[in-house]
Structure 1
Amino acid sequence: MVSRLGGFGLLAAWGVAMIALSYYVFRRQGVDDTEEFITAGGRAQVGLTTASFAVTWMWAGDILGVPQYVGITGVAGIWMYAAPAVLSSFVVIPFALRMRRLFPQGLTYSEYFIERFDKRAHLVVVLVILYTMVLGGVIQLFVGGAVIGGLTGIDPNVVMAILMGVIGVYILLGGLWGSMTTDFVQFVSALVLTLVFVPLLLFEVGGPGAVYDQMVANLGSKSSAFLSLANFDAIEGLFLPYALGLGVWGVVSLATWQRVFAVRRDRTSRFLTIGGIGVFTTIAMYSIIGFVGLAAFTDVSPGNLSIEALGLLPDWAAVVFLLVALMVLGSSVDSYLTAIASLTSRDIYYRHVDTEASDDQQLRVARGASVGFAVIIFAATVFALGSISFVQLLLIGGIGASALVGPFALSLFWRKTAGTAFVAGVVVSQLVTAFLLAASYDVVVTSPDLKLWEIMAVGHLVSTGLTAGISAVSPDDFRFESIAQEGSAMATDGGRRASGGDRE
Structure 2
Amino acid sequence: MNNINLALFLYVMIMFLATFIFTSSKETSSSFIVADRNLPENKCAFSIAATWIWAPALFVASSQAYLKGWQGFAWFFIPNILTLILCGKLSLKIREKFPKGYTLPEYMGNIYSKRVKRLYNIEMIILAILSMAVQFVAGGKILSLITGISFLKMSILLGIVALGYSMFSGIKASVLTDFIQMILMLVVGLITVPLLVIKTGGIESVINGLGGINKDYLTISLKSWDLFLTFGLTTTIGLLSGPIGDQSFWQRTFSMNKNNIKRAYIKAAIIFAIIPLLMAVIGFSAAGIGFIPKDTGIVNLEYIIAYLSPSFITLFVIMLVSGLSSTLDSNLCAISSIIAVELKGDIKRNSRIGMILLTIAGLLIANVPNMPIVTLFLIYGVLRTSVFAGTVTTILSNTPIKESNIFYGILLSMLVGVPLYVIGASQSNMNISIFATIFTLITPYIFIKLGGKKNG
With normalisation by structure 2, the TM-score equals: 0.92
- Contact 2:205 2:286 survives alignment (8 Å): no
For residue 454 of structure 1, the aligned residue among 430, 435, 441 is 435
The correspondence for 1:432, drawn from 411, 416, 428, is 416
Q: Which amino acid aligns with 1:227?
A: L
Q: Is 1:477 equivalent to 2:452 in the alignment?
A: no
Query: Which consecutive residues of structure 1, in runs of 5 or more, have no partner in the other structure?
Result: 351-356, 479-504
Is 1:26 matched up with 2:23? yes
10, 13, 20: which one aligns with 2:10: 13
Deviation of the 1:457 alpha carbon:
0.9
Q: Structure 1 vs Structure 2: percent identity of aligned residues?
A: 20
**Aligned residue among 338, 344, 354 for 1:369:** 354
Tell me by how many angstroms 1:192 deviates.
0.8
The answer on whether the counterparts of 1:74 and 1:228 sit within 8 Å (CA) in structure 2 is no
Distance 1:337 1:155, change over 3 A: same
Secondary structure, aligned partner of 1:56: helix
Map residues 70-469 of structure 1 onto 2, 5 A cutoff: 70-210=65-205, 212=207, 219=213, 222-223=214-215, 225-228=216-219, 232=224, 233-294=226-287, 295=289, 297-298=291-292, 300-312=294-306, 313-347=308-342, 349-350=343-344, 357=345, 361-383=346-368, 386-388=370-372, 390-412=373-395, 413-441=397-425, 450-469=431-450
> 1:485-504, aligned counterparts within 5 Å?
none
What SS does the aligned partner of 2:131 have?
A: helix
Distance 1:399 1:336, change over 3 A: same
SS at match of 1:106: coil
Report Cα offsets for 1:254-290 as digits up to 9, x if no partner: 1111111111111111111111122222211111221
| Structure 2: segments with no counterpart, 5+ residues | none
Native 8 Å contact 2:375 2:425 kept in 1? no
CA contact (8 A) 1:11 1:162 kept: no
* Deviation of the 1:72 alpha carbon: 2.6
Distance 1:403 1:302 in 2: 31
2:382 corresponds to which letter in structure 1? I
Higher Rg: 1
Structure-2 separation of matches of 1:37 and 1:217: 48
CA distance in 1, matches of 2:281, 2:150: 27
Change (3 A) 1:246 1:453: farther
Aligned partner letter, 2:356: V
Amino acid at match of 2:380: G
Counterpart residue type for residue 144 of structure 1: G
Letter in 2 for 1:407: G
- How far, CA to CA, are the matches of 1:424 and 1:95 in structure 2? 23
Measure how far apart 1:229 and its partner are.
6.6
SS in structure 2 of the partner of residue 311 of structure 1: helix
Secondary structure at 1:173's aligned position in 2?
Answer: helix
Where 1:44 maps in the other structure, the secondary structure is: coil
CA shift for structure 1 position 156 = 2.8
Q: Which moved more, 1:229-238 or 1:14-23?
A: 229-238
Question: What whole-Å deviation, never above 9, does each CA across 1:441-499 have from its counterpart, x for those lacking one?
Answer: 468xxxx9734233111111111112332x32xx5235xxxxxxxxxxxxxxxxxxxxx
Secondary structure of the corresponding residue to residue 247 of structure 1: helix
Measure, in 1, the Cα distance between the counterparts of 2:110 and 2:432.
37
Of Structure 1 and Structure 2, which has the larger fraction of its residues in helix? 2
Which deviations, in whole Å up to 9, do the C-alpha atoms of 1:397-454 show, x marking residues without a partner? 31122211111223231524122221111111101113312431468xxxx9734233
Distance in 1 between residues matched to 2:426 and 2:165, nearest whole Å: 41
Contact 1:75/1:228, CA 8 A, preserved across alignment: no
RMSD of aligned residue pairs (Cα, Å) = 2.4
